[in-house]
Structure 1
Amino acid sequence: MPAQGTCDGCRNGDDFPIPFTMAFQPIVDISANAIWGYEALVRGRDGSGAATVLAAVSDDNRYRFDQACRVTAIELAGAKLPRGSRARLSINFMPNAVYEPTACIRASLAAAAKAHFDPGRLMFEFTENERIVDTAHVQNIIETYRRIGFTTALDDFGAGYAGLGLLARFQPDLIKLDMELIRGVQSSPARQVIIKGIVDIARALKVTVLAEGV
């Protein structure tokens, strides 16, 4: 059955070559000294890291894996994150795995309803490291997610060569500066100048900036 037509089998990662779960990394707002959100990070149920799990992703299972990651993250967040929290839940998605945005998000919305998790707290992030095959398609995904009320983010900004181009094209709600830019910034005038330039551009575009690896 075409992946585009169903989300059956996408509810969890049981049928994936490496059974997986999610870990939640806090995103901290240092100005408010509070947790702003949590990023869901895939991990093997045997304790293996993300690289081991992602190595098992293929063209044949990419869609099911992407959907299962979303559902698993939302279900676990609903069960494990602090009650009453308004922190966002950030979920990585694979743009090349999304066929029709509205159809692909149905399982996520159903999982949020079941877990009593406000879908307005969901943030979907894509990385500039993944080669985007069809930019018009990704633009459609982002616009659809915004209409639904999700936050969109560009991950690992500054890690590749297309960052500014993707920012100009997609104008996500948020960018996450790659940790290679952040680490050692206190002793690197070059990094300081580059980061200041990115922050100035983002501010002019009304895009929020997060720093990774702090």
Structure 2
Amino acid sequence: MVDLGDIRKEYTQGRLDETKVAPDPLTQFHAWFEQYRSTRPEEPTVMTVASVDDSGQPWQRILLLKSYNENGFVFFTNYESNKGQHFAANAKASLHFFWIAMERQVQIQGRVEKIDREQAAAYFHSRPRESQLGAWASSQSRPLANRSELETRFAQLNVQYEGQEVPLPDYWGGYLLVPERVEFWQGGEHRLHDRVEYQRAGSEWKIQRLNP
């Protein structure tokens, strides 16, 4: 066994007061996100996306947040991937952001729904051409004999669509996660962390502090 119990960090950068947070979580998220982005992190939009398969087993993976507004949070993927199949059977997901430089976490739970094709196409065609071809080349999450098989498909597609617009695959698009619960976590000294939870209550949000 590798004992890691002696690796310890004290969190001392700030406090989070439930009486002073924004009245809705999207406004609070925006404030925190802009503060984090101002620190010029290598990848500000990185997040963990969790889904659950039909046996009840949770799965997690790292994706990039592509947009957010008062309706929720948008990310893109292959609909035939493991997560796409999970969402087709159980349209619940969780997002998690960990901003260690600011000693903050944001956890978001809610339901996912596919965005419209027009929005998906607009984003798809804004990507580098090689990324568009990669979406065609990869049967995401399916078994692959070897790396050369993938690279051969990519090369064939590069020739096939030379001088043409790469079309949006039918199986590729975006999801909007509509939040039902959002938790903001600020690290605290002596492990007395601040946790503020937003729970959707109809068209309003209930705000409460949680024990660390």
- Give TM-score, length-normalised by structure 2: 0.27
Q: More strand by proportion, 1 or 2? A: 2
Of structures 1 and 2, the one with the larger relative CO (CA 8 A, separation 6+) is 2
State which structure, 1 or 2, has the greater radius of gyration over its C-alpha atoms.
Answer: 2
Q: More helix by proportion, 1 or 2? A: 1
- Give TM-score, length-normalised by structure 1: 0.27
